[in-house]
Each structure stands twice: as structure tokens, then as C-alpha cells.
Structure 1
Amino acid sequence: MKEIAIIDIEASGLHFDSYPIEVAVLAGGECKSWLIKPEPNWQYWCETAESLHGISRALLEDEGLPALDVAQQLNDFLSESDTVLYSDAQYWDDDWISTLYFAAKIERFFHIESIYELIGAERKHIFDSHKAFLAKSGRFQQHRAADDVQMINEAYLHATQFLTSNNEH
């Protein structure tokens, strides 16, 4: 079982005008996360999304980094071996990363793939069940990117170990 790099993004909502507000990556055993200051043209805000992730627009204005800084730091954090980042919400995360890099006007050196494609259909239920178990465990703050990448990683390890140990019998 190989170690994988994982990405998770929190956003201003689930809307075509939404944008990334927090990104976290787990790569090489290290997790990094960034709050993102909204760009001037990033206006869409969903109160329901804020109630889930608990990140206010005021917090982003005060503590968030500009899109360019986040994109550069993300590129710097990832090594050449981390050119594929896995997500449990590939469509959304890829769209939000594209929004981030478009605003930053720099090239990204990675692409995002679905963790479900990696683990396969036979492990999807195990992955989802274990992730739900972890979400209810109280160990993680759900809908915060850094905790979500940790949950995704633990669920991935559980699902792949589960199948490996069952195949050995």
C-alpha cells in the first residue's frame, strides 16, 4: 500500500460562483492548511456553508492569505512525487483549485483525482463507513480542511488494509 497525497477544500458554498476559503494537503506525512482571503470579485457567500465549517468571511479577511501566496506555498509544499492529489470530492475540489490558481495567475504543478477511483468499487463502502465513523468519533472538527484530510487518510488506510488482510486469508 503506497502513501498518497490528499487534498480537501472548504468553500464559500456549493454554487457555481463559490470559491475556496481553506485548503489542506496531507503529503509525505505532513499536513499543511491555509485560509484564503477572498479576492475582490469573490462575492458569493452561503450562510449554511458557514454554519458547517464555522469560518466567517471576517476571519478570512483578517487571517486569510492572498490567493497568490496560497498557490505559491501549495506548489512549494508539494514535491515532484506529489503530482497527484486525491480527493473525496474531486469535481468540487478541482474546480475550487482552478479558481484559486486562476486568481493567482500561476501554474499549478499537480492534478486532483478521485480517491474512489484509487480504492475501487469494492472498497467504497468500507471507506465511506469508516469515514462516517471517524466523523462521529469526536476526534476531528468536520468541515475543516486539515481535519478532513486526516479523516480521508485514515479511512483510505482502513479500507485498503481491510481488503489486503481479507485477501491474505
Structure 2
Amino acid sequence: MKDIAIIDIEASGLHFSSYPIEVAVLLRGECKSWLIKREPKWQYWCEIAESMHGISRAELEREGLPAFEVAIQLNEFLSESDAVLYSDAQRWDEDWIDTLYFAAKIERHFCVRSIYDLMGSDKAPLFAAQKTLLAESGRYRHHRAAEDVKMIHEAYLYVAG
């Protein structure tokens, strides 16, 4: 099972009040990403998180799409898939996806699963080590969703053999 769909989300921080600011999906070799404009109720912002992903609030205001549009486009992009997306941070990513779809007031047509469950706990250390090597290689801009899904996919392929 090498051809899997992968999701990654960047957020305003790692806090229970954080919200999604960028989402990317890699599906059948095609990567799509969206910047998400802040919803009125989304207030939490972490300067440390901003320094990691490099996405400013001003950039989100200028270039981001409303949650409703992102949720619609994400559902459309995934409409012909098996509706399972794999994440290397499933608990966080699923919470942020729930936040996005709750704000959009529409139903999501996919589920988020842990990539670690797919590969098994025996391969998890190898996956983590390979992902770290890729992050340090300079080939990817770590902590940007589109780059991270590609990096996660490459590390997964390495482990899946």
C-alpha cells in the first residue's frame, strides 16, 4: 500500500485554542494546498509557531481563503478518493480539520488516520529518522504544509520499501 493520501496542517500554534492556517493534501502524486483566512472566533496566535512556519497574519488576510471555501475545495479535491488521509500528527491534524469544518458549517467527506497505524509501530522509529534526515537535507521547507506532505510521503515510501 504505497499510494496513500497524505494530509498536513500548519496552525496558529500548539494550543487547544489554535486554528488551522494552511492545509495540504498529496493525492495520487498531486499536491494541493490552501492558506486559510482567520475566522472571527479564531483568536489564538503564537509567535513561536509563526517563526517556524513563516506565515504571517497579514499574509493570511491577503492570500488566505475563508474556511468555507477551503472546506468545499478540499471535499471536491478528495471526491474521487477512498476518503482516508494519513497524517504524522493525526490528533492535531484531525482537531484542526474539525475546527475548519465546524467554522465552514459543512460536513467533511474524509477521515484522518495515523500514518503510524498504517506502517506499524516497528517501523515508526525508521520513519521518524528518515523524516528528520529529509527535513535537514534542505530539499524541503519544513513546516509548510505542501512541503511537509511531500516529505512525509518520501519517508513513508522509504519505510514501506
Compare CA radii of gyration and give the structure with the larger one. 1
The ranges of structure 1 where at least 4 consecutive aligned residues each deviate by more than 3 angstroms after the TM superposition are: none
Counterpart position of 1:9: 9
Shift of 1:28: 1.4
Shift of 1:125: 1.2
Cα RMSD (Å) of the superposition? 0.8
Contact kept, 8 Å, 1:7 with 1:23, in 2: the verdict is yes
Counterpart position of 2:43: 43
The C-alpha deviation readout for 1:68-99, integer Å capped at 9, x for no partner, is: 00000000001343311000000000000000
Counterpart position of 1:22: 22
Structure 1 residue 155 and structure 2 residue 129: aligned? no
Contact kept, 8 Å, 1:88 with 1:152, in 2: the verdict is yes
Structure 1 residue 144 and structure 2 residue 105: aligned? no
Question: TM-score when scaled to structure 1?
Answer: 0.93
The structure richer in helix per residue is: 1
Contact kept, 8 Å, 1:27 with 1:82, in 2: the verdict is no
- What is the aligned residue count? 161
Shift of 1:67: 0.2
1:113-124 equivalence runs, <5 A: 113-124=113-124
Q: Which moved more, 1:78-87 or 1:140-149?
A: 78-87
Shift of 1:158: 0.1
Structure 1 residue 76 and structure 2 residue 72: aligned? no
Q: What stretches of structure 2 of length at least 5 have no aligned partner?
A: none
The C-alpha deviation readout for 1:46-79, integer Å capped at 9, x for no partner, is: 0000000000011001100000000000000013
Q: Quick one: distance in 2 between partners of 1:36 and 1:82?
A: 25
Among the aligned pairs, what percent are the same residue?
71
Q: What stretches of structure 1 of length at least 5 have no aligned partner?
A: 162-169
**Secondary structure of the corresponding residue to residue 13 of structure 2:** coil
* 2:105 maps to amino acid: K
Q: Quick one: distance in 2 between partners of 1:120 and 1:105?
A: 35
Contact kept, 8 Å, 1:53 with 1:143, in 2: the verdict is yes
**Secondary structure of the corresponding residue to residue 55 of structure 2:** coil
Counterpart position of 1:61: 61
Counterpart position of 1:89: 89
**Secondary structure of the corresponding residue to residue 109 of structure 2:** coil
Q: Which moved more, 1:90-99 or 1:80-89?
A: 80-89
